[in-house]
Structure 1
């Protein structure tokens, strides 16, 4: 009951939208007007209850008007009802065999082009009704007769049409409480009241006895091949629109997702029942579904109740429809037809270079027919997709005249790419040494023949060709006569460069490990990483512009680019034992660190200097354990003197140095703060920090937990300036 307080109001809003639109679709299709109301009631009750979407609203749809109009003209209305029943049976069968998702393979450009074409056909036909005439048999005839129809306008009928379109145009700018009445209903009511008040001479609609005057469907007489084509067209167009509408509405609400196979089955049952009762074909309609969601619908009961309201209206209030001028309905259809040409859809297809598909489909629907236009659009979409999937790029560069020609072929090598491939390869001068990288995921026989023939000719004329395949060895296998793969090779998982060698490769002997691991690593870099990073390195080849000077320990477990997610050109890195920064002028002198600081601040103009320490630092452990630890290592002993201020600070903090692990961790963190202070002894650094041009940052990498923490510099005015330990580092 909690959902009904949302669903009942929503169902009433959708009902008010559905009635005029259903009548308009029936008018455009040349079917009895009551057939539109029957389809709306059946679509709401049956498809709403049995379908796979909780918010979609089904009913007669404008996309089928051209098909239905042709069927009515050829076979008559009662035979068209039987075709609707058979189309529903086909949908039911497709849903039972789980074929619903195949409809999603249709390009949206084809769907939108079809709807635009149908909309233009409807607008051209109904414009004649607005002008007081009758629609012709084809869009060409409607267009040809339009000038004479304009010259022979019927005043009152045209005024009703203009009034209807005017209300539709301005209704969106009305106050919110006024817009609670749907625009189509407001337009028809305005036209009806005005025509009655001024006693205009307009055409009236009469549904007296139409709902109860039911006649059974009859077998169509004619060529069964054409009848079968009509059944297939109704089933597929209605089914595709319903399923695409499901997908669209799923993105508009937070309720349960649609079951597409169940939706197709529910649509099939609804179409069978609609055909039996003398209604139009049924499909999910995006306008009513969107209105349903915006009105606050929560469950499928909103769609079901909307169908109940339509049924009650047809049975009890059908007489009120005769107050609506036929020209007002025709004007509504003209407005809806023009609205199908959506600029939003055009922008989307333009962004994906599918405007030709949209235009061909729309033009084919208008000039030839719905089925022919859709097939033409599908064929063009398939050709464009095939062209994209088989596109080949050939990149050639020669670093110096007479040097090696580096050539990279990327894409899928098929017979479609052979002309481009041979053109590019034959442009390489004879006698040139060629380094050919094949970054391809497929190669057919025609492409192999073209590539192999060029290679033999090039080598015969004195050149050399070295082939390196970055993916599966398509060329090598074909050259050796091996059996080729039946399909495109799936992309390989990216190399796990961040893992140690021991975690990525099979165990090697000690000697083999020393000799091979670096070579294997560089080989993996060339095959997997270099092609991706080559454009970046090309830009960085002439100069570097790092934003950070990163001072860290030489410990092999600390990988700066890994723990900071940085790339080439980001960090100007200095590594030493203990991540120490000797004070300016300190003894023993160390020009290496001082030179890096000088170059980073004076030439590179870095914005940040980071000192990064880590847990379990061997240098700090050596300081804690005393000089005996580094006995026999005189250079290391002298270097660690720069860490004595950090050790003194630990003693001043009162830390219990007998708890070795806690003392080491505290010293590692205090050492970071001490090195940040040491940086301020360099005049250039201190000036830039005071001017706000440079920031000093401390990082602490806890190896065991793989966590990076922030360690703030010790402020001279902070409580920690008394020598106490810094607070626990802040996780980043």
Structure 2
């Protein structure tokens, strides 16, 4: 029994409703866009006009049924125009159809072998340039048709013959083509409900109507009978099978890449099911075998039709299938209408399509990413050689550029200004290819100099390690000193332990909070060693300025909890915070804690800080102990007595407690937030703090660090509030 038969009645009704409300209207819109484009692509390819319609019908119905992309629409595409024209010119139309069948078979094999995603590994800049080259080639071809002539065999001939064509313009053809182009370019500016109509259809209809009233006789499309009359079997090649297979492979690869890239783009345009890339290739291959077998053009997924399909509200593959049905009905029943279309109207349409394949955004992106040379070379190769050679040259250049970027390394050696110390900086991928530059720069270092070797490398092979290590040994033997700072992910110590590998990128926790987390033995000692290797030289200049004086902007009182790292959560560095830490971040009133008294007096009277901050945190053990009523006695029990004031204030009517509860915090965290407010009040009543607030505007504030979310909240007398990045207080002061 079929799945549809087993479907619940409600689901069947829902599918039918979706088909009638969404997919049916969308299919009509896509049909109106696809019809003129299919005719134009057949003309540009030098194929029979009916071949474009056959491909459109097969692409819609077959890929709609078998493909893996729910909303992609397939048919003849501008991206294959150049290679198809070359194939027809070389082998003839019947053999070109056989090559299309062979290309479809290759696509099915691609899909069955599950290598579809590998096609997406082609550099996007090469694909963009390929499309731009195709667009330029189409525009050059159709410009001659627009002027009333015929296109030539190559882009170069089309270019050099253009001046002669301009001297003998056919006015009626030219006028029709220019009107079509004007409508195409200006349709996006049309206001109101007219914009719902597809621009290409409106342009061709207006151009056709104009051609019927002009006094001249523009050349028109010729169709011999209905679409069924145009169906014909492909012909086997008479020889040169190597060239036939190469042409089939070229069409299969280009059609596959274009279809897959189009499917990726369509997936980004909707929230429905994603594409099954292997199934999509099988569907495309089946469509090409059938299209070629019936005498049609090659089929690919087409982004213009697919985007139209999504924008028209399609919900399932039924829309693509139905658009193929409408093209079939039109091609059979309305052949006379098609034959009224002037070739210059389709030429104007194709010139605009070709121009739109050259996207300024792609050129800007290539320039920003340093790939402009690859883009230009690929475009020129596609236009003036052929599509396959242009793409191969582009891929080779892209790969060469990638290889150069991956293996290049920057090596500099120079004396640190104002010192006798030399700095050798090595940045990038350090391999045997860097040895000439490495030895040249190391030779600049004078004997007996103190040298710092800064390694910011992600890959270090044995040859590079040996060169650096041998030079360092020789330099130390002649009276110099060598110190290593390893900032990159590759380590000198690992160079001899096995084959070289690209180092694992370190995280913030690895590099800043706990650089010893993966080391064994004495963690503090190992951490200090890691600090010397990675970070000491970075902070050394700043610490040298602080050697004899400190000028912190804030006194920061927080809990002794190991999870609280003041400089990390306040984005500050050495010399910014004067820090006090104790269990529970308590301020003991009445001068009973001489440590806090001394810190307050020194920070406010001697260092003249601008801020005093109390910072509590979530999951605080002191707060949990207070809520639980223990411990008591010496040690921790005696210290937690200082939290009684916070516990006494902690009740539902308190605005701070109420705000914390409303924000969803649990009892212990609510108490922690109230505790911050209590300590802030205690500080503001302290004689030293109160005097500084009056004399030089000392600010006293409270913070709460939520460990789980890494969010820092401000605690005020009225409750809590978020601190947004652009509004950070003086704690985010940069230095």
The residue aligned with 1:166 is 182
Other-structure match for 1:561: 566
d(CA) in 1 for partners of 2:722, 2:472:
58
1: CA distance between counterparts of 2:711 and 2:545? Answer: 33
Residue aligned with 2:192, SS: coil
- Partners of 2:386 and 2:457 in 1: how far apart? 42
Q: Which residue in the other structure is 2:80 paired with?
A: 64
Equivalent position SS for 1:590? helix
What is the aligned partner in structure 2 of residue 414 from structure 1?
431
Q: Decide whether the 8 Å contact of 1:498 with 1:562 is kept in 2.
A: no
* Structure 1 residues 679 and 255: alpha-carbon distance in aligned structure 2, compared to 1, 3 A threshold: same
Q: Which moved more, 1:202-211 or 1:51-60?
A: 202-211
TM-score in terms of structure 1 length: 0.82
> Quick one: which of 415, 419, 423 aligns to 2:440?
423
CA distance in 2, matches of 1:538, 1:40: 70
For structure 1, which runs of at least 5 residues remain unmatched after alignment?
A: 509-515, 656-661, 716-726
- CA distance 1:466–1:73, change in 2 (3 Å): same
Give the corresponding residue for 1:180.
196
SS at 1:2 equivalent = helix
Q: Which residue of 2 aligns with 1:287?
A: 304
> What is the 5 A alignment of 1:359-374?
359-374=376-391
Distance 1:444 1:302 in 2: 56
User: Could you tell me which residue of structure 1 aligns to residue 526 of structure 2?
Assistant: 520
Assess if the C-alpha contact under 8 Å between 1:578 and 1:620 holds in 2.
Answer: no
* Pairing 1:375–2:388 present: no
Equivalents in 2 of 1:28, 1:702: separation in Å?
A: 65
Structure 2 distance, partners of 1:476, 1:322, is 78
Partner of 1:302: 319
Give, in angstroms, the shift of residue 550 of structure 1: 2.1
- SS in structure 2 of the partner of residue 302 of structure 1: helix
1:16-31 to 2 correspondence within 5 Å?
16-31=32-47
1:204-603 maps to which residues of 2 (within 5 A)? Answer: 204-209=220-225, 211=227, 212-394=229-411, 403-444=420-461, 447-448=464-465, 450-451=467-468, 454-455=471-472, 458=475, 462-466=479-483, 484-485=499-500, 487-491=501-505, 516-527=522-533, 530=535, 542=545, 549-553=555-559, 555-557=560-562, 559-561=564-566, 564=569, 566-568=571-573, 571-576=577-582, 579-581=585-587, 590-598=597-605, 602=608
Post-superposition shift, 1:464?
Answer: 4.2
Does structure 2 conserve the Cα–Cα contact (< 8 Å) formed by 1:581 and 1:593?
A: no
> Residue in 2 aligned with 1:512?
none
Q: Secondary structure at the match of 1:411?
A: strand
45 and 35 in structure 1: CA distance in 2 versus 1, 3 angstrom threshold: same
Conserved in 2, the CA contact under 8 Å of 1:125 and 1:139?
Answer: yes
Residue in structure 2 matched with residue 659 of structure 1 by the alignment: none
- Alignment gaps of 5+ in structure 2: 1-15, 653-665, 724-735
Contact 2:456 2:489 (C-alpha < 8 Å) held by counterparts = no
Spell out, residue by residue over 1:50-69, the C-alpha distance to the aligned partner (whole angstroms, 9 max, x if none): 11101111111111111111
1:489 CA displacement: 4.4
Give the whole-Å Cα distance in 2 for the aligned partners of 1:113 and 1:354.
Answer: 11
Distance (whole Å) between structure 2 residues aligned to residue 685 and residue 399 of structure 1: 45
TM-superposition CA deviations, 1:576-595 (whole Å, max 9, x none): 56644467999979342133
Deviation at 1:151, TM superposition (A): 1.2
For the pair 1:85 / 2:101, whether they are aligned, the reply is yes
SS of equivalent residue, structure 1 residue 629:
coil
Q: State the alpha-carbon separation in 2 of the partners of residues 341 and 501 from structure 1.
A: 50
Q: CA deviation at 1:71?
A: 1.0
Q: Does 1:675 align with 2:690?
A: no
Count of residue pairs brought into register by the alignment? 685
Q: Distance in 2 between matches of 1:258 and 1:9?
A: 23
Contact 2:516–2:523, Cα closer than 8 Å, also in 1: no
Provide closer, same or farther for how the CA distance between residues 312 and 696 of structure 1 changes in structure 2, counting only shifts above 3 A: farther
- Alpha-carbon spacing, 1:90–1:672, altered in 2? closer, same or farther (3 Å): closer
- Relative distance call for 1:711 and 1:328 in structure 2 (3 A) is closer
Backbone CA RMSD of aligned residues? 4.2
Q: Distance in 1 between matches of 2:98 and 2:492?
A: 58
Alignment of 1:674-713 (within 5 A): 674-681=678-685, 696-699=700-703, 712=715
- Residues 350 and 684 from structure 1, CA distance in 2 versus in 1: closer, same or farther, beyond 3 angstroms? farther
Q: Distance in 2 between matches of 1:682 and 1:255?
A: 63
TM-score, normalised to structure 2, is: 0.82
The Cα of 1:629 is off from its aligned counterpart by 3.5
User: Out of 24, 35, 39, which is 2:55 matched to?
Assistant: 39
C-alpha spacing 1:618/1:286, structure 2 compared with 1 (3 Å): closer
Contact 1:127 1:334 in 2 (8 A): yes
Q: Is the 8 A contact 1:612 1:700 kept in 2?
A: yes
- On the 8 A contact 2:426/2:456 being kept in 1, the answer is yes
Answer yes or no: is the 8 Å Cα contact 1:37–1:310 preserved in 2: yes
Contact 2:490-2:502 at 8 Å conserved across structures = no
Q: Please report how far the alpha carbon of residue 391 of structure 1 lies from its aligned counterpart in structure 2 after TM superposition.
A: 2.7
Query: Per-residue CA shift, 1:299-325, capped at 9, x if unaligned?
Result: 111111111111111111122011111
Distance 1:334 1:558, change over 3 A: closer
- In the TM superposition, what is the alpha-carbon distance from 1:387 to its structure 2 partner? 1.6
The Cα offsets for residues 412-436 of structure 1, whole Å up to 9 and x where unpaired, read as: 2224433433333222223323343
Distance of aligned partners of 1:691 and 1:239 in 2 relative to their CA distance in 1, 3 Å threshold = farther
| Cα distance between partner residues in 2 of 1:687 and 1:184 | 79
Task: State the alpha-carbon separation in 2 of the partners of residues 669 and 90 from structure 1.
Answer: 67
Asked if residue 629 in structure 1 is aligned to residue 644 in structure 2, the reply is no
- 1:70-113 residue CA offsets vs partner (Å, 9 max, x unmatched): 11111110000000000111111111111111111111110111
